[in-house]
C-alpha cells in the first residue's frame, strides 16, 4: 500500500484528505503542521508528501525542501489557496494543487503523479 503523509492545519481539509485517500487505498498519516510532518518522515517513510503552503512552525516550502534532503525518493504535492504559479518557494514540489481542494481534484493530481512514475500504488 502506498504511504501518503499530509501536512495540513485545517481540520476539515485534513478529513477530506484522509477519507478520499484512504478510500482510494492509500495509507495516510495526518500532521497538523510542517514540523510534525518533518518529524514523521523517517518513521512513516512516505512515498508522497502533501503539504499546505502556509502553516505554523514550518511552511510547506520549508517542508518540501526538507523532504528533498531527507527522503529524495518521495514525491511532493503543494496545496495552496494562493495561485500556485505565484508561490516562489513551491518551485521544487513535483506537483501543485490549488485550493479549494475537492476529492476529485486531489485524486486526479495524485493519479497524475502516478502516471509520471513519481508515485505508485
Query: Quick check: 83 pLDDT over 70?
Result: no
CA distance 81 to 107: 18
| pTM recorded for the entire structure | 0.89
CB 41 within 8 A of CB 67: yes
Q: Determine the pLDDT at residue 119.
A: 63
pLDDT of residue 20: 97
Contact 42, 5 (CB under 8 A): no
Residue 106, C-beta contacts closer than 8 angstroms, at least 6 positions apart: 16, 17, 20, 21, 97
Looking at every residue in the chain, the average pLDDT score rounds to: 87
Amino acid at each position: 500500500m502506498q504511504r501518503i503523509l499530509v501536512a495540513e492545519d485545517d481540520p476539515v481539509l485534513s478529513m477530506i484528505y484522509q477519507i478520499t485517500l484512504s478510500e482510494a487505498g492509500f495509507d495516510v498519516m495526518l500532521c497538523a503542521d510542517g514540523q510534525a510532518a518533518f518529524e514523521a518522515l523517517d518513521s512513516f517513510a512516505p512515498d508522497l508528501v502533501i503539504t499546505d503552503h502556509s502553516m505554523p512552525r514550518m511552511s510547506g516550502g520549508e517542508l518540501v525542501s526538507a523532504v528533498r534532503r531527507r527522503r529524495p525518493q518521495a514525491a511532493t504535492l503543494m496545496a495552496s489557496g494562493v495561485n500556485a504559479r505565484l508561490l516562489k518557494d513551491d518551485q521544487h514540489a513535483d506537483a501543485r494543487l490549488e485550493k479549494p481542494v475537492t476529492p476529485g481534484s486531489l485524486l486526479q493530481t495524485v493519479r497524475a503523479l502516478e502516471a509520471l512514475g513519481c508515485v505508485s500504488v
